[in-house]
């Protein structure tokens, strides 16, 4: 059987022919090299099967066997602002950049109030205008991610580029809206985002991953984030893909000293969703606070793979992910904390809590610690459960029936994550989404 799986590795030809198409275009030499390295890694790396430890509970066969058409340039997808009404915030001052199938749409985007020293726009534009910072960050990192990251790099064209110069502080969030179309045929979108915060810069970033149209599609996003010393970002990733939408997304953060990365990874929809988030605490005093919430139903599969590498001493990290699973859905959580030998005085905690609303739902949770230093404080834990009977009785003794008690408790469980979001319009929108999904009042 395992032999069979090996030989059954699906053809990568359609992706590689897209790589060829791009090779014939005119691009800077450094970009051609970056893509070439990505293509080489993509070719030599197998698609994961469930025998791969990191993918044991996440079967990506439906993604690799569907002949998604990779894109080599923007096309006319006929998307209008009215299609995005429920996604865009339209709040005064906000910058909202819209990407259709990975390509920037100036017509659908809106640049809000940005202070001096802030660039927010298209990565393709940054590349074609010879932006040295983009070149540096894209070429310095040798593609070492998984096969899907390699595919993204092999087809690297466009996505969001955000750069805050040293000391720049955003007054309003930047919202990156990634729309994948399931309109006519199954397409594979490969948005590539690059966000760089200079020394002591501060920003609120929201990424939304959504779709238009009813068909299948594959969103394969890679986002690289670099925080220079003292930079602080509040990062929010909202995944609300369709019932036929596949998403694999990787966010890769590098943190210099005293920087702070605080994130919320919220998954509300998608057929198969995997959110990878890794951060390297690469300077003393860096902090990472990674919050997550996944609400699943139907036969959805949502996988959150989180990894923090403590590379330097005196860094702190906290991971708190919560899930609510209904019907025959399943969720996977893995949280790897690696503490390098010299990373003394590391303070790291992680907790994954899951609420099962149905007997058919399943969770696989795996918090992991790999510690090579000796003076560290690390805790981890995971829970899977249902609403306690005594708590339900408490509601009933106050006049509320069991269904109402369960609904309110589920809402409360999920809302604990949402309530920590500082951006009010975002918090209210998510609170409403959670409330509508679970609460009767």
Partner 1 sequence: MLEIRNLHASVEGNEILKGINLTVKAGEVHAIMGPNGSGKSTLAQVLAGHDAYEITAGSVRFLDQDLLELPAEERARLGLFLAFQYPVEIPGISNAYFLQAALNEIRKSHNLPELDAMDFRELLNDKMELVAIDPRFAERPVNEGFSGGEKKRNEILQLAVLEPRLAILDETDSGLDIDALRIVSDGVNKLRSPERATILVTHYNRLLNYIVPDVIHVLVNGAIVRSGGKELALELEEKGYDFIREELVAP
Q: Are 211 and 181 in contact (CB under 8 A)?
A: yes
Q: How far is the CB of 414 from partner 1 (least distance, A)?
A: 8
Number of residues that bind partner 1 (CB under 8 A): 24
Contacting range for partner 1; rule: CB under 8 A; set: 187-195, 297-305, 340-348, 409-417 = 409-417
Shortest distance (Å) from residue 179 CB to partner 1: 32
CA atoms within 13 A on the CB side of 371: 17
List C-alpha distances in Å: 210 to 13, 184, 189, 244, 270: 27, 17, 12, 12, 9
Which of 65, 129, 419, 420 binds partner 1 (CB under 8 A)? It is 419
Provide the minimum distance between the beta carbon of 322 and partner 1 in the complex, in angstroms, as a whole number: 10
Q: Which two tokens stand for residue 375?
A: 């003076």
SS3 411: helix
- Of the pair 6, 402, the CB lying nearest partner 1 is at 402
- List the one residue out of 69, 272, 104, 72 whose CA is nearest residue 178: 104
Q: Is 83 in the site for partner 1 (CB under 8 A)?
A: no
User: Cβ 407 to partner 1, closest distance in Å?
Assistant: 10
Window 262-301: residues binding partner 1 (CB under 8 A)? none
Q: Which stretch in 70-78, 92-100, 257-265, 407-415 sits in contact with partner 1 by CB under 8 A?
A: 407-415
436 binds partner 1 (CB under 8 A): no
- Give residues 345-404 in contact with partner 1 (rule: CB under 8 A): 388, 390-391, 393-402, 404
Minimum separation from the CB atom of position 277 to partner 1 (A)? 23
- 441 is a contact residue toward partner 1 (CB under 8 A): yes
Q: Where are the beta strands (DSSP E) in 182-259?
A: 187-189, 192-197, 202-212, 217-227, 232-240, 245-255
Closest by Cα among 37, 55, 51 to 6:
51
Our finding on whether 224 is near partner 1 (CB under 8 A) is no
Closest to 245 measured CA to CA, from 221, 268, 271: 271
Which one, 372 or 393, has the nearer CB to partner 1? 393
Give the residue with the Cβ less far from partner 1, 154 or 293. Answer: 293
Shorter beta-carbon distance to partner 1: residue 209 or 413: 413
At 171, is the secondary structure helix, strand, or coil? coil
Q: Residue 87 or residue 408: which is nearer to partner 1 going by CB?
A: 408
How are beta strands 160-164 and 118-122 bridged, if at all? antiparallel
The nearest distance, CB 396 to partner 1, in angstroms, is: 4
Nearer to partner 1 by C-beta: 256 or 326?
Answer: 326
> 30 Cβ partners below 8 Å, 6+ apart?
135, 138, 139
Torsions phi, psi for 46 (to 5 deg): -75, 150
Site for partner 1, rule CB under 8 A? 388, 390-391, 393-402, 404, 408-409, 411-416, 419, 441
């Amino acid at each position: 059987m395992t032999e069979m799986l090996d030989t059954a590795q699906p053809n990568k030809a359609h992706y590689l022919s897209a790589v060829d198409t791009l090779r014939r275009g005119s691009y800077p030499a450094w970009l051609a090299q970056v893509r070439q390295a990505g293509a080489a890694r993509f070719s030599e790396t197998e698609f994961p099967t469930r025998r791969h430890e990191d993918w044991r509970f996440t079967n990506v066969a439906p993604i690799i066997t569907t002949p998604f058409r990779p894109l080599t340039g923007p096309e006319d997808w006929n998307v209008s602002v009215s299609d995005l009404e429920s996604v865009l915030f339209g709040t005064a001052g906000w910058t909202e950049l819209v990407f259709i199938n990975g390509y920037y749409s100036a017509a659908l985007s809106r640049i809000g109030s940005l202070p001096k020293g802030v660039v927010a726009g298209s990565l393709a534009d940054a590349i074609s205008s010879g932006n040295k910072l983009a070149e540096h960050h894209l070429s310095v990192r040798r593609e070492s991610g998984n096969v899907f990251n390699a595919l993204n790099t092999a087809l690297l064209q466009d996505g969001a580029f955000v750069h805050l110069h040293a000391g720049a502080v955003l007054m309003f969030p930047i919202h990156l809206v990634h729309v994948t179309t399931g309109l006519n045929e199954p397409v594979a979108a490969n948005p590539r985002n690059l966000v760089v915060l200079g020394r002591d810069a501060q920003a609120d970033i929201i990424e939304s991953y959504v779709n238009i149209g009813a068909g299948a599609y594959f969103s394969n996003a890679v986002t690289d984030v670099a925080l220079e010393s003292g930079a602080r970002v509040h990062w929010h990733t909202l995944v609300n893909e369709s019932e036929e939408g596949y998403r694999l997304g990787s966010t890769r953060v590098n943190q210099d000293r005293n920087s702070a990365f605080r994130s919320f990874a919220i998954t509300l929809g998608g057929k198969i969703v995997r959110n990878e988030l890794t951060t390297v605490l690469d300077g003393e005093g860096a902090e990472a606070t990674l919050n997550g919430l996944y609400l699943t139903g139907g036969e959805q599969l949502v996988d959150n793979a989180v990894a923090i590498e403590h590379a330097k001493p005196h860094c702190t990290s906290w991971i708190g992910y919560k899930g609510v699973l209904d019907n025959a859905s399943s969720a996977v959580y893995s949280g790897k904390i690696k503490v390098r030998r010299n990373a003394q005085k590391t303070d790291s905690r992680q907790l994954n809590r899951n609420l099962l609303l149905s007997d058919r739902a399943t969770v696989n949770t795996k918090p992991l610690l790999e510690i090579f230093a000796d003076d560290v404080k690390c805790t981890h834990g995971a829970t899977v459960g249902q609403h306690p009977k005594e708590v339900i009785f408490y509601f009933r003794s106050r006049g509320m029936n069991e269904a109402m008690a369960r609904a309110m408790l589920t809402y409360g469980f999920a809302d604990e994550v949402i309530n920590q979001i500082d951006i009010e319009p975002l918090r209210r929108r998510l609170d409403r989404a959670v409330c509508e999904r679970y609460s009767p009042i």
